[in-house]
Amino acid sequence: MTTLVVSPHLDDAVLSLPGFIRARALRGEQVVVLTVFSEGDAGHATRRVEDLAALALLGAIPQHLGLRDAPLRRGVASSFRELVLRELADDDIDAATVTHALTLAIAAIDASSILLPLGVGEHIDHRIVHAAHTGLAGRVGFYEDRPYALIEHAVRARLLRLGAVVDGAAVTPCPAAVDEFLAAARVAPHIHAYLPADERELCLARLAAALTLAAPPSGLALRSERLGFTPEARSDAARAVQAYASQLADLFGADDVAARFAEPYAERIYWRADGPADA
pLDDT of residue 278: 59
Q: Which domains does the chain have, with CATH numbers?
A: 2-149+224-272 (3.40.50.10320)
- CA dist 258 to 117, 235, 238, 264, Å? 23, 8, 5, 13
At 276 the pLDDT is 76
Q: Phi and psi for 61 in degrees, rounded to 5?
A: -100, 120
Over residues 173-223, the pLDDT tens digits come to 999 999 999 999 999 999 999 999 998 999 999 999 999 999 999 999 999
DSSP 3-state percent helix, strand, coil across the chain (nearest 5): 50, 15, 35
pLDDT along the chain (279 residues), means of 10: 97 98 95 97 95 98 97 92 92 97 96 98 97 97 97 98 97 97 97 92 95 94 97 95 97 94 96 78
Q: Are the C-beta atoms of 37 and 68 separated by less than 8 Å?
A: yes
Q: Is 155 exposed, middle or buried (0-12, 13-18, 19+ CB in 10 A)?
A: buried
Residue 80: predicted pLDDT: 87
Q: What is the pTM of this model?
A: 0.96
3-state secondary structure of 249: helix
Report yes or no: 36 and 7 within 8 Å, Cβ to Cβ: yes
